[in-house]
Structure 1
């Protein structure tokens, strides 16, 4: 197979300024697709320049906050007005940046609601807005592929990430499966990618603590973190007609990490000692 045949297709990628979204946009452009990059950061314009240099298709960039439903409607309408249709939507925008339950401030009784709400606003509500408007266009044209970035953290408990991230990605999986039921009869496929730990800026810029990096690597049978380019093969497959009978699926790309079905209890926080108790009393 020389190509996954997405040349001449119109592709929208959200969260495209960096990380997995940028890698997917670059891979689509290299295959000859028309690619529209969207991100909340105006660095998306610089990212689009890099994608243009790497590919042969037309590339545009758009600043869009996915938590604003009117902005998302405008984005999708602008893309379809410019290109005449929307063939593929990679709904990738997401954030974390909240302490895990292993970190100070990440316990369920310590986590501020504002931190919870911020992650849910982007990862779940923002996805809903994007899914809603992409589905509106694709239902009318009776074709399309929607690919959502979920996470292995949405498939099982994961103490190394935050409560709202786990909850939002679990909800994303349900939303993808539900939407696939409705949209199948319109010729629109909806799938999710579930990456494991990938080196991106989602947890914030800058180096990670060495102990945390090592702990993640210990949980991955392939013994390394993923790179954004590790996700693009599965993404291109789901965008192409080679996956024409695939919908409602959650496709794991994680170096084998989710095959390890048990997390040792030793990674969990130990209870604080009770100053008022004694060995005899316990």
Structure 2
């Protein structure tokens, strides 16, 4: 049984790029795949966070701002030059900016346009830059898996997050579908993970305020926020040949959050 599992989910020797690898979901994915034998390049724009992962065996830290298309191209080209190929890419880097509909600055006539453009530069354009750059070597190889971190906020209206976040995540959901259709003829798979409320530092770092955690937990059928380790299985599935016939799909991991309606009243 163990040998069969090892065969199905084998990523040993795979060359993997994970953006936003300095913390949260990206760090968990990078460390998980490295522990399973992959060669992982962990990219992040935060030098301090990169310093925290530099001693992780199997993870090579690299500075990268995914909003810079040229920088993304350079990192991908360097990976292919140094390792000969690129097998898996997790386009995970993302930020949160602005308030949800339950905050005064979160309504459409009041939100900050500077924050809007900054978020879209990272959460949409950064994903586009990453997918475009990854597609080139993967097409030449006629193989590869690209995984985008979307969100349940991209699958429905969500009063707890900003307009820019909802729009960005909805955009990358359809980018995944379009790219999957485009790249299938080269046997390159493109899928998305759509997390619900998870304990990460995307909103600015530091411990989550208990009241905020309770509010998010109330939106989840299982009654709590997710831990990033609970994404390890799906990440390994999509990085390995276990997903060899899976493309163009969006996989929510949300504790049942999509089963429930969301209220505008933060007290409910």
> TM-score, normalised on structure 2?
0.94
Partner Cα separation in structure 2 for residue 247 and residue 88 of structure 1: 13
Partner Cα separation in structure 2 for residue 44 and residue 137 of structure 1: 28
User: How far off is 1:2 after superposition?
Assistant: 3.3
- Aligned 8 A contact 2:215 2:266 in 1: no
Runs of 4+, deviation exceeding 4 Å = 265-269
CA displacement, residues 28-69 of structure 1 (integer Å, 9 cap, x when unaligned)? 0110000101011113432333421xxxxx431110111111
**Match of 2:254?**
254
Instruction: Please list every run of 5 or more consecutive structure 1 residues that lacks an aligned counterpart in the other structure.
Output: 53-57, 270-282
- Aligned 8 A contact 1:145 1:238 in 2: yes
Partner Cα separation in structure 1 for residue 55 and residue 175 of structure 2: 32
**Match of 2:262?**
263
Please give the residue correspondences for 1:91-106 in structure 2 after superposition, counting only pairs within 5 Å: 91-106=91-106
- SS of aligned partner of 2:106: coil
- Aligned 8 A contact 2:89 2:134 in 1: yes
State the superposition RMSD in angstroms: 1.6
**Match of 2:157?**
157
**Match of 1:19?**
24
User: How far off is 1:105 after superposition?
Assistant: 1.2
- Aligned 8 A contact 1:100 1:160 in 2: yes
Equivalenced residue count is 263
Partner Cα separation in structure 2 for residue 71 and residue 218 of structure 1: 40
- Aligned 8 A contact 1:150 1:169 in 2: yes
Please give the residue correspondences for 1:51-62 in structure 2 after superposition, counting only pairs within 5 Å: 51-52=56-57, 58-62=58-62
Partner Cα separation in structure 2 for residue 44 and residue 267 of structure 1: 32
Max Rg structure: 1
**Match of 1:224?**
224
> TM-score, normalised on structure 1?
0.89
